[in-house]
């Protein structure tokens, strides 16, 4: 999957979690404002959608779309 395709999945998943529309320009702020439970829900949903599992170290700073997409790509390449 390309960066853009993964980004689209991440944004759709985020919109689903917050039950509102979200675009790439405002997504990072939304992610950083999620409470801890919603954040976990979001990361779990991304893991489900992309068929990956992030490491404990990675989970600490999953605070932007770019970091998430990059890590998903790395997992897929591996």
Residues that bind another protein (CB under 8 A): 12-13, 16-17, 36-37, 39-41, 43-45, 47-49, 53, 55-56, 59
30 or 43, CB closer to another protein? 43
In the structure encoding, which two tokens stand for residue 45, read together? 């949903």
Close Cβ partners of 15 (under 8 Å, ≥ 6 residues apart): 21, 22
2 or 53, CB closer to another protein? 53
CB of 61 to another protein, least distance (A): 11
CB of 72 to another protein, least distance (A): 15
The residue whose two tokens read 């998903």 is 72
Contact 9, 35 (CB under 8 A): no
């Amino acid at each position: 999957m390309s960066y853009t395709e993964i980004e689209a999945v991440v944004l759709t998943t985020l919109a689903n979690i917050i039950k509102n529309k979200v675009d790439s320009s405002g997504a990072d702020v939304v992610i950083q404002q999620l409470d801890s439970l919603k954040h976990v829900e979001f990361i779990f949903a991304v893991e489900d959608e992309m068929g990956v599992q992030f490491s404990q170290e990675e989970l600490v700073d999953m605070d932007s779309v770019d970091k998430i997409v990059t890590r998903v790509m790395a997992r897929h390449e591996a």
